Structure 1
Amino acid sequence: MQREIDRNTERKMAEAPKIELFVKASVDAESVGNCPFCQRLFMILWMKGANFTLTTVDMKRAPDALKALAPGSQPPFLICNEEVKTDTNKIEEFLEETLAPPQYPKLCCCYKESNGAGEDIFRKFSAYIKNSIPGLNDTLEKKFLSTLVKLNMYLETPLPHELQKNPNANESSRLYLDGDSFTLADCNLLPKLNIVKVVCKEYRDFAIPKALKSLTRYLDNAYKQDEFRYTCPKDSEILYAYESVAKYLNK
Structure 2
Amino acid sequence: MKLTSSARAREQMRLNQQREAKPAQPGPKGIPSTVPVGITNVIPTGLPTHPNAPKPAYVMVVSANGDSTRIGDCPFSQRVLMTLEEKHLPYEGRFIDVENKPTWFLQMYPEGKVPTMFIDQKWVGDADIITEMVEKKISIPTMRTPPEKASIGLKIFPLFVKFLRSNDPGDGSEQALLAELQALNEHLKIEDAAYKNPFVNGRFPSMLDMNLAPKLYHMDVALKHFKMWSLPPDLVYLEAYMKKLFTRPSFTKTKPPEDLVIRGWQRHLSSVGQ
With normalisation by structure 2, the TM-score equals: 0.75
- Displacement of 1:159 in angstroms is 7.7
% identical aligned pairs: 23
| Contact 1:24/1:34, CA 8 A, preserved across alignment | yes
Mapping of residues 110-121 of structure 1, within 5 Å: 111-121=146-156
Query: Counterpart of 1:17 in 2: which secondary structure?
Result: coil
Task: Write out per-residue CA displacement over residues 168-189 of structure 1, whole angstroms, 9 at most, x where no aligned residue.
Answer: xxxx623211112111010111
Q: Is the Cα contact below 8 Å between 1:222 and 1:229 reproduced in 2? A: no
Q: Tell which has more relative contact order, 1 or 2 (C-alpha 8 A, sep 6+).
A: 1
Q: Is the contact between residue 96 and residue 102 of structure 2 (CA under 8 Å) also seen in structure 1?
A: no
Q: 1:244 is matched with which residue?
A: 267
Structure 2 unaligned segments of length 5 or more: list them: 1-6, 25-51
Q: Which amino acid aligns with 1:97?
A: K
Q: Which of 25, 29, 38 lines up with 2:77 in the alignment?
A: 38
Based on CA coordinates, which of the two structures has the bigger radius of gyration? 2
Deviations 1:13-70 (A, max 9, x none): 8464241010000132211111111111101111111111111111344431211232
Change (3 A) 1:142 1:16: closer
In structure 1, distance between residues paired with 2:16 and 2:64: 41
Q: Is the contact between residue 26 and residue 237 of structure 1 (CA under 8 Å) also seen in structure 2?
A: yes
Q: Secondary structure at the match of 2:89?
A: coil
Q: Could you tell me which residue of structure 2 aligns to residue 92 of structure 1?
A: 131
Q: Partner letter of residue 108 of structure 1?
A: R
**Aligned partner (choices 129, 140, 144) of residue 173 of structure 2:** 140
Please name the residue that 1:183 is paired with. Answer: 206
Cα shift at 1:117: 1.2
For residue 12 of structure 1, report the CA deviation from its aligned partner. Answer: 7.3
| CA RMSD, Structure 1 to Structure 2 (Å) | 2.7
Which residue in the other structure is 1:167 paired with?
none
Total equivalences in the alignment? 231
Cα distance in structure 2, aligned partners of 1:156 and 1:91: 30
SS in 1 for 2:150: helix
Structure 2 counterpart SS, 1:29: strand
Q: Mark the CA change 1:159 to 1:221 in structure 2 (over 3 Å): closer, same or farther.
A: closer
**SS of 1:136 mapped into structure 2:** coil
